[in-house]
Amino acid sequence: MDVSNTLIEALGMRVQSLDKDLVVMTMPVDHRTHQPAGFLHGGANVALAESAASIGAYNNSDPDQYRVFGIEINANHVKSKRDGTVTARAKPLHKGNRTMVWEIRITDENDQLVCVSRCTIGIVPK
């Protein structure tokens, strides 16, 4: 999957590991992901969460026959962060033929919870 010229590239996200039941991605906490007061933007957390869930769903479907689209996401931001790196761990809660539901936990370098999210992905025939 080519992520050139995408939001994933623009925010500095990296896929660390990819399995059908676990996607691990990192994202820097820097000028690209800050809100104006200098803290990690909640929207950046959501972008990371949906990216991990979408990549996981893509990895669980046949990309020659299906496309994946986020259709719902929620997020609880539980800790602020000014710098460093956050890590998203996305695990499927439901893998159906037309929808998947993923839980994404975003933590800091000390394994402290920064954000927890749930994302529903639509699996759409081409």
Q: Residues with catalytic annotation? A: 50
The DSSP line for 44-77 is HHHHHHHHHHHHHHHHTS-TTTEEEEEEEEEEEE
How many whole angstroms separate alpha carbon 50 and alpha carbon 36?
22
User: Strand 99-107 vs strand 113-125: parallel, antiparallel, or unpaired?
Assistant: antiparallel
